């Protein structure tokens, strides 16, 4: 059972409260039993499930509560709070790093948990926040580990350190940290090799690396699909080095995710980030309340707005873009930039799950992967075009066979792919020019977003959506619902 299903089951159990004519002890028990069953099936540790059940029962004294809706709300709130405190591990999230001083972070975890990938995502995240990160590869156990880190770091333009000849990871770690301290890097990330709790010698090695670099934070990276084994594994790491944070990876796949909660309990440390895919941007800052809110289908407006803001170009560029499109200047470069923005937002289902009322279940993740792959293919084709071609809005040049052949060869694609991309361009150019006619464009985008204009624009937008995407989003009814929810939010 994946996390979305867990959320649905808990939500359904809570909804059963409103169906009961009277909420008494028996109704509460039945609801908690269903929630406990869902959590157990999602691999949450048995002890944690029992304590959640007991704590809710302690907090809610049914016979002393008022009637109807308020009773239901109080129970819902108690379940929500207990789920949050289970995830927070009894501690507030970690303090932010201080700029201008050296912060050393060491990543530990089981083999293949995603440490190296996560180190790069972590470095990239803080680089965007204005830090100067650097990465050190202290994994001498797995052949190819240094090459992997080197490749990831180069792609993210992060300085790195490692060795092909030195076999002692503590020595490499110390050398790397020294080097980057001298270079005044303020966030030094030390990646270590993967190990299992049975491997005592590797645990000793991990303690030596920690002693050599004296990390400010030790981060335990855990694969979200690990299941019930999570508790013991996480505890072994915590008993050996001072784990202070947990990052859960692979929450995009079929991970039940419940193991994550067990790791938090074992390390008494909060989850600070989650990995939701193999790519650099598939990494989210984690906040228990928002996570549980999304899990229970209550949405996360803040997260949604942040994602959209992140993907939307600067204000001046937006204004310029709208003006260009309204004059009919929809070029391939504009299409390319729009694709880039879509990719930045991440998978559609992730974004939509942040909108209250839209659960993950509405979106079909399979078709999204296909759409993203298609966008990437189209972008690669556009990469092989000249600047003049990208800035042209004349469709004439698109029918020249020699150009089509050059773009196909240059991008390693087929002619059919190129033609498909051009068809998409023509479709979008037409859609944009028609849609812009009816749009109410605010003179200054910083100015008030009038809800009526906003609604009219969304209605217009929903007409522009390709039918399969509209279906994926739950059909016109869901869009209407979204518009209703947006009322008063802007």
Stretch that binds ligand GTP, among 40-48, 50-58, 139-147, 197-205 (CB under 6 A): 139-147
Q: Does 112 bind ligand GTP (CB under 6 A)?
A: yes
Count other C-beta atoms under 10 Å from residue 458's C-beta: 15
Neighbours of 95 (CB within 10 A): 9
**Packing angle of the helix pair 475-486, 451-464 (nearest 10 deg):** 160
Q: Is 277 in the site for ligand GTP (CB under 6 A)?
A: yes
DSSP β-bridge partners for residue 192: 138
Which range in 86-94, 110-118, 171-179, 199-207 contacts ligand GTP by CB under 6 A?
A: 110-118
Total residues at interface with ligand GTP (CB under 6 A): 22
Q: Name which of 162, 148, 142 is nearest 116 in CA terms.
A: 148
Of the candidate spans 60-68, 105-113, 211-219, 314-322, the one that interacts with ligand GTP by CB under 6 A turns out to be: 105-113
Q: Could you give the CA distance from residue 140 to residue 173 in angstroms, rounded to a whole number?
A: 11
How near is the Cβ of 369 to ligand GTP at its closest, in Å? 11
3-state class of 137 per DSSP? Answer: strand
Give me the least distance between CB of 274 and ligand GTP, in Å please. Answer: 8
**Contact partners, residue 132, CB within 8 Å, separation at least 6:** 184, 185, 186, 187
Q: Which is nearer to ligand GTP, 131 or 141 (CB)?
A: 141
159 vs 194, beta carbon nearer ligand GTP: 194
Is residue 159 within 8 A of residue 185, CB to CB? The reply is: yes
Q: Are strands 187-192 and 283-285 parallel, antiparallel or unpaired?
A: unpaired
The answer to whether 262 and 224 have CB atoms below 8 angstroms apart is: no
Listed residue (159, 272, 150) closest to 219, CA to CA: 272
Please report, for residues 22, 23, 44, 290, 311, the alpha-carbon distance to residue 36 in angstroms, rounded to integers and kept in the order given: 22, 19, 9, 21, 38
Of positions 14, 27, 52, 145, contacts ligand GTP by CB under 6 A:
145
Q: Which of residues 186-205 bind ligand GTP (CB under 6 A)?
A: 193-194
The least CB distance from residue 173 to ligand GTP, in Å, is: 14
- If binding is defined by CB under 6 A, does position 466 make contact with ligand GTP? no
Taking the least distance from each CB to ligand GTP, the nearer of 264 and 473 is 264
Smallest distance from ligand GTP to CB 327, Å: 42
* Residue 253 contacts ligand GTP per CB under 6 A: yes
Q: Determine phi and psi for 66, rounding to 5 degrees.
A: -70, -155
Query: By Cβ distance, which residue is nearest to ligand GTP?
Result: 194
Task: State the Cα–Cα distance between residues 214 and 181, nearest whole angstrom.
Answer: 13
**Cβ at position 277, least distance to ligand GTP in Å:** 5
State yes or no: residue 139 binds ligand GTP (CB under 6 A): yes
Candidate residues 252, 287, 389, 417; the one interacting with ligand GTP per rule CB under 6 A: 252
Tell me the closest approach of the beta carbon of residue 273 to ligand GTP, in angstroms: 10
CB of 136 to ligand GTP, least distance (A): 13
- We find the least distance from the C-beta atom of residue 291 to ligand GTP, in angstroms, to be 15
Among 185, 250, 256, 294, indicate the residue that binds ligand GTP (CB under 6 A): 250
Q: Answer for the pair 276, 350: CB distance below 8 angstroms, yes or no.
A: yes
Choose between 111 and 341: whose C-beta lies nearer to ligand GTP: 111
- SS3 of the chain: helix, strand, coil, percent, to 5: 60, 10, 30
Host H or E run for residue 335: helix 332-345
Ranges within 116-135 binding ligand GTP (CB under 6 A): 116-117
User: Among residues 11 and 353, whose Cβ is nearest to ligand GTP?
Assistant: 353
Structure token pair of residue 224? 């979200």
Residue 247 is a binding residue for ligand GTP (CB under 6 A)? no
Give the N- to C-terminal CA distance of the chain in Å, as an integer: 36
> Considering only CA atoms, which of 83, 81, 94 is closest in space to residue 42?
83
Residue 270 Cβ, how far from ligand GTP at the closest point, in Å? Answer: 18
Residue 3: enclosing H or E segment and its boundaries?
A: helix 3-19
Helix, strand or coil, per DSSP, at residue 55: helix
**Cβ closest to ligand GTP, residue 19 vs residue 143:** 143
Is 114 a binding residue for ligand GTP by CB under 6 A? The answer is yes
Does 169 sit near ligand GTP (CB under 6 A)? no
Residue 162 as a binder of ligand GTP (CB under 6 A): the answer is no
- Gap between the Cα atoms of 262 and 47, Å rounded: 9
| Candidate residues 133, 275, 346, 356; the one interacting with ligand GTP per rule CB under 6 A | 275
Residue numbers at the binding site for ligand GTP (CB under 6 A): 109, 111-117, 139, 142, 145, 148, 193-194, 249-250, 252-253, 275-278
């Amino acid at each position: 059972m994946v996390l979305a299903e867990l959320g649905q089951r808990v939500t359904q159990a809570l909804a059963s409260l409103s169906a009961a004519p009277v909420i008494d002890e028996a109704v509460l028990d039945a609801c908690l039993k269903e929630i406990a069953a869902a959590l157990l099936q999602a691999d949450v540790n048995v002890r944690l499930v029992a304590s959640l059940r007991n704590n809710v029962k302690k907090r809610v004294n049914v016979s002393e509560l008022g009637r109807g809706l308020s009773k239901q709300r109080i129970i819902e709130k108690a379940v929500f709070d207990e789920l949050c405190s289970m995830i927070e591990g009894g501690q507030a999230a970690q303090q932010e790093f201080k700029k201008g001083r050296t912060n050393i972070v060491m990543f530990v975890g089981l083999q293949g948990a995603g440490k190296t990938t996560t180190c790069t995502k972590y470095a990239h995240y803080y680089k965007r926040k204005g830090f100067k990160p650097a990465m050190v590869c202290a994994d001498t156990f797995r052949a190819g580990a240094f090459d992997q880190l080197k490749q990831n770091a180069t792609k993210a333009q992060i300085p790195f350190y490692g060795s092909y000849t030195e076999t002692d990871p503590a020595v490499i770690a110390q050398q790397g940290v020294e080097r980057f301290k001298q270079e005044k890097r303020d966030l030094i990330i030390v990646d270590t090799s993967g190990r299992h709790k049975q491997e005592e010698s590797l645990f000793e090695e991990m303690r030596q690396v920690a002693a050599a670099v004296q990390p400010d934070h030790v981060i335990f990276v855990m694969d979200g699909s690990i299941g019930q084994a999570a508790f013991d594994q996480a505890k072994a790491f915590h008993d050996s080095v001072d784990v202070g944070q947990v990052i859960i990876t692979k929450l995009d796949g079929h991970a039940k995710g419940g193991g994550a909660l067990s790791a938090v309990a074992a390390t008494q440390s909060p989850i600070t980030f989650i990995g939701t895919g193999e790519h650099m941007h598939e990494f989210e800052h984690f906040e228990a309340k928002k996570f549980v809110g999304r899990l229970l289908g209550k949405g996360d407006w803040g997260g949604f707005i942040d994602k959209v803001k992140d993907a939307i170009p600067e204000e001046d560029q937006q204004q310029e873009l709208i003006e260009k499109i309204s004059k009919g200047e929809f070029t391939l470069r504009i299409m390319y930039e729009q694709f880039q923005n879509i990719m930045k937002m991440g998978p559609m289902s992730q974004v939509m799950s942040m909108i209250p009322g839209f659960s993950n279940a509405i979106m079909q993740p399979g078709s999204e992967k296909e759409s993203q792959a298609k966008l990437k293919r189209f972008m690669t084709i556009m990469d092989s075009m000249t600047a003049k071609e990208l800035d042209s809005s004349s469709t004439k040049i698109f029918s020249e066979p020699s150009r089509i052949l050059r773009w196909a060869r240059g991008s390693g694609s087929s002619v059919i792919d190129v033609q498909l991309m051009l068809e998409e361009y023509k479709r979008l150019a037409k859609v944009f020019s028609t849609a812009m006619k009816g749009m109410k464009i605010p003179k200054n985008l910083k100015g008030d977003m009038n809800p009526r204009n906003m609604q009219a624009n969304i209605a217009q937008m929903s007409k522009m959506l390709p039918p399969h995407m509209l279906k994926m989003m739950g059909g016109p009814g869901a869009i209407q619902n979204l518009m209703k929810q947006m009322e008063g939010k802007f």
